Amino acid sequence: MGIFLLPQSIIERLNILLKKFWWGYNEDHTKIQWVKWSLMGKAKDQRGLGFRDLNSFNIVMLAKQSWRILKFPDSLLAQVFKSKYFPHSDLMEARLGNRPSFAWRSIMKGNQLFKEGLIWRIGNGKSTKIWADHWIPSSPLHKVDTRGEEKNLKWVSELIDPELKQWKESILRSHFNLEEIEKIKAIPISLGGREDQQVWAASPNGLFSVKSAYLLHKEVINQKEGESLSSKEYSNEWKVVWHLKTSTPIKLFTWKAC
């Protein structure tokens, strides 16, 4: 799972085994499955049981390879793929290319998720593009909403006074709305002029983790499916079930009854 994208048919067969094991079965028949598998994959405070979605987990493990390529560019893995698939660009701009290997196809699938969770940590601003890159931590999409590609500004460094080490408010006021200005001004500027760094936005420490990437992928899926916040509306009620001061079998029986 950390190297190849498993075929959907194999994922389905594994899910069938898990479902049969959970609900119980004999050689000649399967017991009733009271809720659909996708619901059981949700968190416990969202009516589910927290089962891992194998397809999502597969993609997350592949996204971890993108993190390794980005952070360890001198490794054999990174050098081989770079020389073959993106010799004149970086991983974020890499394309599938002609006749790619199955391993590269798999990594590119995980790379789509990796791009969603990656953000630039501003230092001197010279490596971060204002309109294209993710660099505003407090923004939902980590990007500016204002459409400014047609303007002369390109790099975040053009918004920073290099001597005073602070944001140029006059430029900010002329190119961004008030909400964006406040978010940008909240970003600390490196006094030592260190270079910008790409970090994992889904983790507090900026390091990639499988758990944070898995939660991010489920969130992306929910957004694409248009799922509202209604699934979280009764989260406190479901938490009560799992915090009952009783044994696990009784908690599971209570969950089934609910």
pLDDT tens digits for 92-117? 889 998 889 999 999 999 999 999 99
pLDDT at 160 over 80: yes
- Say whether pLDDT at 91 is over 50: yes
pLDDT at 151 over 90: no
* Helical pair 235-242 and 248-257, crossing angle rounded to 10 deg: 150
Which 3 state secondary structure label does DSSP give 25? strand
Summarize pLDDT for 167-179 with one digit per residue, the tens: 999 999 988 889 9
Quickly state the pLDDT bin for 68 (edges 50, 70, 90).
very high
Q: Where would I find the beta strands (DSSP E) of 122-182? A: 160-161, 166-167
**Is the pLDDT confidence value at 185 over 90?**
yes
**Cα-based angle 50, 54, 55 (whole degrees, multiple of 5):** 125
**How much of the chain is helix, strand and coil, in % rounded to 5?**
50, 5, 45
Q: What is the pLDDT of residue 226?
A: 67
The reported pLDDT for the residue numbered 54 is 92
pLDDT > 70? residue 228: no
Beta-strand ranges (E) seen in the chain are 118-121, 160-161, 166-167, 197-200
- Helical axes 210-224 vs 54-71, angle rounded to 10°: 120
* C-alpha separations of 162 from 8, 157, 170 in Å: 52, 8, 15
pLDDT tens digit sequence for 14-59: 988 888 888 887 777 777 888 888 888 888 888 888 888 899 999 9
Least confident range from 1-15, 173-187, 202-216, 226-240: namely 226-240
Cα-atom radius of gyration of the chain, to the nearest Å? 23
Residue type at 233 in one-letter notation: E
pLDDT of 62 higher than 70: yes
Residue 149: predicted pLDDT: 53
Question: CA–CA separation, 198 vs 118, rounded Å?
Answer: 7
Q: Would you state the pLDDT for residue 229?
A: 47
Amino acid at 213: A
Average pLDDT in the chain: 88
For 209, the token pair is 């983790």
> CA 187, CA 120: separation in Å to the nearest integer?
11
Lowest mean pLDDT among 104-108, 133-137, 223-227: 223-227
CB 177 within 8 A of CB 74: no
CB-based contacts of 29, cutoff 8 Å, min separation 6: none
Share of the chain above pLDDT 90, in %: 56
